[in-house]
Amino acid sequence: MSANDHTMAHEEAHTGPIKTPQQLLAAVFFSFVVPVFAIIGLVYYVASADKPMAGADTAENAVTQRIQKVGMVEIRDANRPLKSGEEVYKAQCVACHGTGAAGAPKFSDVAAWAPRIATGYDTLLNSALKGKGAMAPQGGGDFQDVEIGRAVVYLAASAGGKFAEPAVPAATNAGTTATVAAAPAAPVVVAAAAPVVATPAPAPANIAAAADSGAGEALYKQACFACHGAGVAGAPKLGDKPAWAPRIQTGLDALTTSVIKGKGAMPPKGGSAASDADIRSAVVYMVNTSK
């Protein structure tokens, strides 16, 4: 073997498999691309392994709908202490009158309240109880009429009004006293009435059905209509399917939580003092109406 052949054999032994720039580029390319695709495939496999089987989610939702409560009965204390005007305002009125939403005169805005105060207390109270414009009727809700009257006085006073606070009606107390006094004098009537009380056994079911079918709509008209009726401050209008579609997809629980805690311009519970159960009923009513 010549010296030249020996030198060439020695060089080939130390050069390795990569001999050209093209081979070097191909080696670098595959050393990066292949691991990336391998990682992507592994992630896809792990993610798909956690998905439920086809139809499982639908079946679970169907079972949940079948076993959910038909309705509920809420007992409120009619003898609770009456709320002050400020308490009613903060619980019920601040949602609109605190920000001027839907054209509501803002709290302490003298210019906006002056023409309204000039109409008198009775006119303002009547508008509050029966509703006016975007404001839903406040009568028959969580607060008694006298409490709504106190809120009217409080709102008017913030802008210079001088209305006297309404007195608590004495008719209810007098009627209660008369009933209590007459009870000992007619024990036989009480005994005779016992079978009548036991007769309407199906009454609780009817009450539950009424609460399930009307509680949500009533709360919407009382507290939610002011914004959702006109789409104020970005609130999705009732019946606007495109606006409600992405919200409905989040689920009833998520929507109810958003209302209870407040979201965006919407204060907690829409500024009302409703129970969580009534809030959920109102959400159900708005979702069903906007599907």
Mean pLDDT score of the chain: 74
What digits encode the pLDDT tens for the residues 92-105?
888 888 888 878 89
What digits encode the pLDDT tens for the residues 8-37?
555 555 566 777 888 788 888 878 888 888
Domains in the chain, ordered, with CATH?
80-199 (1.10.760.10), 201-289 (1.10.760.10)
Q: Look at residues 158, 134, 142, 153 and name the one whose alpha carbon lies nearest to residue 235.
A: 134
Confidence of residue 169 (pLDDT cuts 50, 70, 90): confident
Confidence of residue 129 (pLDDT cuts 50, 70, 90): confident
Q: Look at residues 143, 120, 145, 125 and name the one whose alpha carbon lies nearest to residue 135.
A: 125
What digits encode the pLDDT tens for the residues 194-216?
444 444 444 343 333 334 457 78
The pLDDT of residue 108 is above 80: yes
By the 10 Å C-beta count (0-12 exposed, 13-18 middle, 19+ buried), 13 is classed as: exposed
The residues, any chain, with a CB within 8 Å of residue 278's CB and separated by 6 or more, are: 74, 215, 216, 219
The pLDDT of residue 107 is above 50: yes
What digits encode the pLDDT tens for the residues 67-92?
665 555 555 566 788 889 899 888 88
Confidence of residue 183 (pLDDT cuts 50, 70, 90): very low
Question: What is the pLDDT, as a whole number, of residue 134?
Answer: 79
The pLDDT of residue 189 is above 60: no
What digits encode the pLDDT tens for the residues 34-63?
888 888 888 888 887 655 555 555 666 666
The residues, any chain, with a CB within 8 Å of residue 167's CB and separated by 6 or more, are: 146
> From residue 198, how far is each of 72, 88, 180, 192 by CA, in Å?
21, 38, 22, 11
Report the SS3 class of residue 76.
Answer: coil
Using only C-alpha atoms, the chain has a radius of gyration, in whole angstroms, of 35
The pLDDT of residue 262 is above 70: yes
Under a CB-based contact definition with an 8 Å cutoff, are residues 124 and 156 in contact? yes
- The average pLDDT across 159-174 equals 75
What digits encode the pLDDT tens for the residues 218-229?
888 888 887 888
Q: Tokens representing 290? A: 């906007």
Look at 60-69, 106-115, 188-197, 238-247 and tell me which has the smallest mean pLDDT: 188-197
**What letter represents residue 108's amino acid?**
S
Confidence of residue 157 (pLDDT cuts 50, 70, 90): very high
